[in-house]
Amino acid sequence: MKILHYSLGFPPYARGGLTKYAIDIATEQVRQGHDVGMLWPGRVLNGSSIKIKQGKAFQGIKSFELENPEYLPQIYGIRDFDGFQKNVDTKVYEEFLNREKPDVIHIHTLMGMHIGFLETANKLKIKTVYTTHDFFGICPKTTLFFNNEICEKNFECKGCYTCCENALSIKKMKLLQSPLYRNIKNTKILGVLRKYKKNKIFVNESGLKELQKEDKIYSENYRKLREGYIRYFEKISTIHFNSTYMRDVFRNYINVDKGIVCNITHGEIKDNKKKYTKTIENNVVKISYLGPIAEYKGFYVLKEALNQLYQEGIRNFQLTVYNGGENMAPYINNKPSFKYEELDKVMNEADLVVALRDVSYGFTVLEALSYGVPVMVTDKVGAKDLVCPGKNGIICDYDLEMIKKELRELLNNPEKIGKMKNNVLNMFEVPLISGHVQDIINGIYR
């Protein structure tokens, strides 16, 4: 089968869960004998004409750089609308697709994409599949989170202007898409600057904001922007929802009848349950939170729930976070960020892994279960599909009182965590990338 992926590019320039998933399934498809390429949004040059340049292959995946794509707002949002949803001459796309002749185009993001690319695929009767990694297209910031609240039904785009106050300028986006930046992105100083920028966004999300007067003026622009991206979704043949949660959110905005739910995995997932040797010591439950210190990930809701339990006198727990900062409470153990190869150690220090919200799926939940560690999630985590309530983990509403209630029950009865651990070891079947690729090809592509 000839498969063309559209994603953000190759590591180390492109990173994150979206990139990892796209690269991992493309690499596995190559291993299984398929002809695989990847088109990715590259540099922005003067002028508007687009070009597609073939570069050096990556792990058997052919590389095609799209020159003069749309801009990549990443997680910062959009304020300048001029660089988005432009009409372009589709001759280059038609020549490229006629030359490559893919059987299917697997799209992992709409960022950087011209709608003309989808129109050309439709014209040539090439099947297109879109995997829902985040909420870009219905949310300019990808997170669907504002003012401490999940805005899954923000039909009026109220607050989008304020939420996107840290959006990158066109000039900065152009720089970040340049070959120069690609070559220096992973230097230490730029890593510090990126972390500062992201932390600034996360801090802003943890406090309520006054809606600005400009919101009413700009909300119409954001509604039009969303309507434009909904036209993108309408031109895609099949939507691959990575979870029932993503399907349920997207159904507020698009027709999900052409969608298929298929839970995802990645290439590093292995059945590591026999490596897990941790037991609860001295009745103290070690809770691990593996995400960023961010409101949209539910961290501050978790912290508030544990604060209240601590004040009530329930103190047989320790919360470990991996942020490298200061301890924010007497029960918090803040450790340095870890690399994936250190995951063995991280999981062996956890009695329970907690993930209260995720923009997409929640690979930390899958990773925990693959090591035999029970999990606690809410209904706002895609990977809740992997959890059998009360068997290998806990599912509750994304609500402070409900979260606190479930944590209190586990802390008062730690033996329940031990029983869930045994269930994970004996009942949970770890999804491997080889089987997942077969599911994608046979269940979605075909």
**Domain of 330?**
273-427
Are both 37 and 107 inside the same structural domain? Answer: yes
By CB neighbour count within 10 A (0-12 exposed, 13-18 middle, 19+ buried), where does 278 fall? Answer: middle
**CATH number of the domain encompassing residue 368:** 3.40.50.2000
Are both 68 and 53 inside the same structural domain? Answer: yes
Query: Does residue 126 contact residue 164 with C-beta atoms inside 8 Å?
Result: no
Confidence tier at 441 by pLDDT (50, 70, 90):
very high
Q: Which of 59, 116, 61, 71 is nearest to 89 (CA)?
A: 116
By CB neighbour count within 10 A (0-12 exposed, 13-18 middle, 19+ buried), where does 182 fall? Answer: middle
Are both 263 and 373 inside the same structural domain? Answer: no
Lowest-pLDDT choice from 52-56, 59-63, 180-184, 216-220: 180-184
Q: Which of 36, 33, 30, 27 is nearest to 5 (CA)?
A: 36
pLDDT in tens, 215-240: 777 899 999 999 999 999 999 999 99
Provide the pLDDT for residue 296: 86
Are both 146 and 244 inside the same structural domain? Answer: yes
Q: Which of 258, 18, 223, 255 is nearest to 138 (CA)?
A: 223
pLDDT in tens, 321-369: 998 777 789 999 999 999 889 999 999 999 999 999 988 798 999 999 9
Q: Which of 187, 155, 174 is nearest to 12 (CA)?
A: 187
Are both 220 and 360 inside the same structural domain? Answer: no
**Between the CA of residue 166 and those of 74, 139, 159, 226, 409, what are the distances in Å?**
11, 15, 13, 19, 40
What CA–CA distance (Å, rounded) separates 423 from 393?
9
Provide the pLDDT for residue 133: 95
* pTM score above 0.85: yes
Are both 251 and 325 inside the same structural domain? Answer: no
pLDDT at 204 exceeding the cut of 60: no
- Number of domains the chain contains: 2
pLDDT at 406 exceeding the cut of 70: yes
Are both 234 and 280 inside the same structural domain? Answer: no
Residue partners of 270: CB distance under 8 A and separation at least 6: 370, 430, 432
Residues of the chain above pLDDT 90, percent = 75
Are both 423 and 377 inside the same structural domain? Answer: yes
Provide the pLDDT for residue 180: 82
Phi first, then psi: give them for residue 199, nearest 5 degrees: -60, -35
Strand ordering across the sheet containing 51-58: 51-58, 61-67, 35-41, 2-6, 104-107, 127-131, 238-241, 259-261
- For the four alpha carbons of 57, 341, 130 and 28, in that order, the dihedral sign comes to positive
What type of residue is 406? E
Are both 256 and 362 inside the same structural domain? Answer: no
More confidently predicted of 129 and 198: 129
Are both 261 and 173 inside the same structural domain? Answer: yes
Are both 440 and 423 inside the same structural domain? Answer: no
Confidence tier at 162 by pLDDT (50, 70, 90):
confident
What CA–CA distance (Å, rounded) separates 94 from 412?
63
Are both 242 and 279 inside the same structural domain? Answer: no
Q: By three-state DSSP, how is residue 324 classified?
A: coil
Q: How many CB atoms lie within 10 A of CB 143?
A: 25
